[in-house]
Amino acid sequence: MTETGYFLTGLGICSFVVLSIIVVIHRRFSVMMVDLCEGEDRARFWSLAVEAWFFLYSVSSALSWRPEGTSDRQLFLAGVNQVKDGLNGTSNAIIMFSVALIVFVVIRKFKGSEKDILRRSNA
């Protein structure tokens, strides 16, 4: 197989795995987003945006690999590293989203309690 063949194979495997992960988490993720966004249309938009971000971040991590090497073994191991980089990108994207989600929930809870305090003091 050529360098380009290994590169495209690694990219294809990475894309397939990332899309499989997105398909598995989509249903539960959509339900969670409906609860957070307080509306199905906004939740659908943000679910799609975040899932696209997961995919694009993962693929961009896999694209950082450049084919190099002369033997099939070197190219195969480099392709394995490409898939590893893509999966690391997926886990990084999920971690970044989780941190942002936690911050959003904490801020939202704080603002809610702030409104309750103001409402109680005015009553």
DSSP 68-112: --SSHHHHHHHHHHHHHHHHHHHHHHHHHHHHHHHHHHHHHHHHH
For residue 118, the model assigns a pLDDT of: 60
Q: What is the mean pLDDT of residues 47-72?
A: 81
pTM of the model: 0.70
> pLDDT by residue (tens digit) across 89-98?
888 888 888 8
The amino acid at 115: K
For residue 16, the model assigns a pLDDT of: 92
